[in-house]
Amino acid sequence: MTIAVGSIIFAALMVMFSKVPLAIAQGRSEGGYDNNHPREQQKNLSSFGMRALASHQNAIEAFPLFVVGVLLALWVQAPMETVNMLCLAFVISRVVYTVCYLLDIATLRSLVWTVGFASSIWLMVLALP
C-alpha cells in the first residue's frame, strides 16, 4: 500500500512541480511575473510558456482520475502487485509526459499520456466484481 499512497502524494506534488516552469516563463515575460493577474498573463504566453501552462493544466486534470482509481483499487483490495505496477506506470508516465511537453516532443508525449490514462482506468477496472 505504501507505493499506492506514495504515488498519490507524488501525483499531488506533480501538480505543484509542473507550475514551476510556468512561473519561470511568466517571470521571463515582459514586466515579470504578474501576481495580481497571473491567469490573464498566461493567456499571452507563447511557445515554451504555453506548453508549460498546458502541462500544468493537464497535471491538474489527470490527478482526480488517478486518485479515484487508486482508492477504488485499494477499497476492493485488488492485488497489490498489480496496483503498485499501475501506480508506478502512472507516475513515470506523468514525469515523462511533463518533460516531453516542455521539450515539445509531441508524439512521445501523446503516447505516454495514453499510458497514464490507461493506468488510471485499469485501476478502476480492478474494482469491478
Cα(61)–Cα(84) distance, rounded to whole angstroms?
A: 21
Mean pLDDT of the chain: 95
Residues 39-79 pLDDT 10s: 999 998 989 999 999 999 999 999 999 999 999 999 999 99
Alpha helices, DSSP H only, in the chain? 2-17, 19-28, 38-42, 48-75, 80-103, 106-125
- Total domain count for the chain? 1
Has this prediction a pTM greater than 0.75? yes
**Considering only CA atoms, which of 60, 43, 44, 48 is closest in space to residue 22?**
48
pLDDT given at position 121 = 98
CB 65 within 8 A of CB 120: yes
The CATH code of the domain that includes 29 is 1.20.120.550
Q: Is the pLDDT of residue 34 over 90?
A: no
Domain that holds residue 17: 2-125
